[in-house]
A and B are shown apart, each in its own frame.
Chain A
Amino acid sequence: MKKFMGFILWVLVTLILIVPVSAQASDQVGTDLVYRLKWKFNTSVAGDIYADSNGYFKQKGLKVEVKAGGVGINAIRELELGRAQFGVASADQVIQALEKGADIIVIAQLFQANPLQWIYRSDQPRIKTLQDLKGKRIGVTFGGNDDAIMKTILAKGQLTKTDVKIISVQGNALPFFKKDADLWPVYRNSQGVSYQDKLAREGEGVRFFNPQDFGVSFVANSVITTGKLYKKQPGLVNSFLSALLRAWEDAMTPEHENAVLNAVKQLDGGINDDIRKKQLAATKTLIKPDPDIKIGQIDMGGWEMTESILIKEGLIKKPVKIADRLIQIK
């Protein structure tokens, strides 16, 4: 027992000595930066990939490593741990982190329209009003964004859970393909395009149910950094963001399309060129739905609605004054 207690003491003392050193080291931010994405490399992050591959960061004197995200990887945590200086997170992640005391700010909103939509077959009546959802079998990822969005939609349409049949989404879209579900949540610009293509080959058409068309705005991916970094090195944050947004602006133009598709293909070769092209076109409509909209523009109203949805669904307990953490850099 004495030996055991000695071992525990040794572990604790070692931690006390080691951990602050790494904390101090993470305070030093030079021009070598890490930009952690939310998900794996695909057409959804075409602008981020293009910024890296075409030297936009280098032109600003920055050496940025763009790292893919994935299951279990969370940019906010990476930022707090000092492993990344910039990242991409969804609005719900940002708001939930702020409620728990994270020091993060949003410096750009990449998606002006949330790519999370529901796909349904075109042989079904078009959903024109929320009442049209009555009797539908709807796929929802319990605990996910789509769960909160769908609950808000149903409440807005004065529908209860008994008016629809909720089907749990678990990793694959089999229930939708087997016609056990009428509406299935997809990322419009990635899965949406692939599923549309797959069903087209079977002679079936599809439509998309977009919550935004029914007044439910839930903000998707945004660029984040720490409040501390912005306060200490605003110039660095500005340089990073201007390089990134310029790359995104260029990536969404027809002149750069082939170069962008090639850059994406280098990192995401798992799909065919035609699908990738369609995915890029779909991404454009979400990133820059209107030529007058500047990429990165923060939709304050959308963020406030997202916050109120999260409160209503019990995902956060109190408001986080989200407007104070949205920094629209000119």
Chain B
Amino acid sequence: MLFRRIYQFMIVYVIGVIFLWMIKLSLGLSDYVIPGISLLKDTAEEFGTGYFMDVVNTLSVTVLGQFLSIIMAFTVGIAGRKSSWIGSFIKVTAYNIQAYPIVALAPIIFILLGDGFLSRLLIASMICYFPLLLSVLGIMATPVTDIEHFYIVTGRMRWQLEVKIRAFENLSKLTTVIAGSATLAMAGTIVGEFISANAGIGYSIRIALYQSDMAKILIALFMIGIIISIYQGILESMGEHIKHRWSIVNKGDEL
């Protein structure tokens, strides 16, 4: 799965670059607009390793940011699953915060947390958590009537049990959403670094943009793509492993 993800990304990247080169050749554009093969090669040799380390740096924040966003999404999703006043209030608050553009919130975040690691982490989790929240809310607000009915009738239903039943019955959906949200966590971290940080690939892209250096940007995109493919591949493998384990446990229970 991991290998497939990497070569699929390579195909997409190569098609994208060929597309750009065709435009370059057809319109007779200079290396300033679209870098040619030799410039791209030189830039990769000069900055490739540095950018790789930058992406690894970004990934470390991404992993933490995604973990934080999963916790946030589950907390809000579980608390807001009821159609009570509190549930509705939590949902409205979560939705409204998401509606604010992150660039407008950024100055407040930087006043509170400075321009270091914590700001990047918070912005990454804020961008990543909303799609997770929607899925969690959808799952947690939908009763699994067949199973829940028994516990309700016998008076044994507690909120923890309700959450467990709904999570277990939608495990496949949850693992897919979590694996998919890795891309958003990475994008969120890069946005955070782009707006304000002194490290990470988003910061390097910002510098490359100041210098109008498209070659650097293409190399950065390549590095981001490779690393995120690996990370998503690992998450998907983990998801498969968890599903497999749970199904074994489930079968064991049945026996």
List the interface of chain A (C-beta within 8 A of B): 8, 11-12, 15-16, 19-20, 22-23, 26, 72, 74, 76-77, 80-82, 93, 96-97, 100-103, 141-144, 168, 170-172, 174, 315
Contact = CB atoms under 8 A, between A and B. Distances in A.
A141 B207 CA distance: 9
A100 B36 CA distance: 10
Contacts, number: 85
A266 to B, nearest CB: 26
A170 B192 CA distance: 11
Interface of B: 15, 18-19, 22-23, 26-33, 35, 39, 106-107, 110-111, 115, 195-198, 203, 206-213
Contact of A96 (B18, B207, B211): B211
B115 A76 contact: no
Contact of B27 (A23, A72, A141, A168): A23
A26 B106 CA distance: 41
A102 B31 CA distance: 7
Contacts of B210: 141, 143-144
A19 B26 CA distance: 6
A174 B111 contact: yes
Given A19-B26, A171-B195, A174-B110, A143 B208 contact: yes
B32 A100 contact: yes
B211 A16 contact: no
Given A15-B19, A96-B211, A168-B198, A101 B111 contact: no
A168 B22 contact: no
A144 B206 CA distance: 10
Contacts of A141: 210
Contact of B31 (A15, A23, A81, A101): A101
Contacts of B213: 96
Given A96-B212, A172-B107, A81 B27 contact: yes
Nearest to A79: B33
A260 to B, nearest CB: 31
A143 B30 contact: no
